[in-house]
Structure 1
Amino acid sequence: MKRKAEAFWTGTGKDGKGHLTTQSKVLNKNQYSFSSRFENGIGTNPEELIAAAHAGCFTMKLAFILQEKNLKPESLNTTCEITLENGAVTSSHLILNAKVSGINQKEFEPLVKDAELNCPISKLLDTKISVEMTLSN
């Protein structure tokens, strides 16, 4: 399986502008610029897209792991915070709020760790990855 996205840019790094389009068209010529990346400008940026990808991938991986244990989560809500420092992504921090019946915190932790280590985006990222979690039944 292959997925693709396209970036289009005109102008210099600081004064230029561009847009991003994904194969599915969920992003369709969505604006990005220096301002949307390093300031509070309108548009998206690569780090925001990495955060969305990591949160989505980790959450889906955890759902599959729970399914293998015959557990059905009522909800898994993950926020991802990507840190960009000195021109490098230095960390990806996942914040999970889960509502899963039939499991306690001690049993849940290794399943979360499995998802953290083995979701495809975690495997892709060459950075520090951390998870904090809240489990309710």
Structure 2
Amino acid sequence: MSVRKGAAVWRGGLQDGGGTVALGSGAYEGPYSFRSRFGDGAGGTNPEELIGAAHAACYSMALSNMLATDGHPPTAVETTAEVTIEPVDGQQTISKIVLHTVGNVPGIDAETFRGYAEKAKAGCPVSRALAATPIELDAQFSA
């Protein structure tokens, strides 16, 4: 069993405060703020961006593993996750995630790739953790 850590500190009020977020591995530490979350994006990262990066990384690994396990090792799998946050019933809510992935996989066709892409969407650990949120997939095949 693996346990991974992330940490955050927030000081001040919501709109005038600020914080730092850090990965337990030490690979990233940086600021986050109200502006970086709900404004123009300046002032650091935000939780939704971090969720998107985690989801894109997990999904790419899961898809690559499924393909390689079945004898189709990919040349590359590139994924971007768009995480939408908006008011729902008066509460800020992550209302949807769209995974945009491009796979370069020798020896298979686009339809086969799409099947693997759908399986990976359902099976990657981050997708499973976020199962309460609608997750859409835009899978593109590059031969």
The two structures have a TM-score, normalised by structure 2, of: 0.92
Whole-angstrom CA distance in 2 between matches of 1:11 and 1:37 = 16
Structure 2 gaps, min length 5: none
Structure 1 gaps, min length 5: none
Please list the CA deviations of residues 35-80 of structure 1 after superposition, one character each: whole Å capped at 9, or x if unmatched: 1111122200000000000100000000110011111111111111
Q: Which amino acid aligns with 1:130?
A: E
The residue that corresponds to 2:129 in the other structure is 124
| Conservation of the 8 A alpha-carbon contact between 2:9 and 2:19 | yes
Please list the CA deviations of residues 66-123 of structure 1 after superposition, one character each: whole Å capped at 9, or x if unmatched: 0111111111111110000110001110011111110011212221111000100000
Please list the CA deviations of residues 10-41 of structure 1 after superposition, one character each: whole Å capped at 9, or x if unmatched: 1011111100111111122x100101111122
Identity fraction in percent: 37
Q: 4+ residue stretches of structure 1 with deviation over 2 A? A: none
Matching of residues 37-116 of structure 1 within 5 Å: 37-40=37-40, 41-86=42-87, 87-116=92-121
**Cα RMSD (Å):** 0.8
Whole-angstrom CA distance in 2 between matches of 1:14 and 1:2 = 32
Whole-angstrom CA distance in 2 between matches of 1:23 and 1:133 = 31
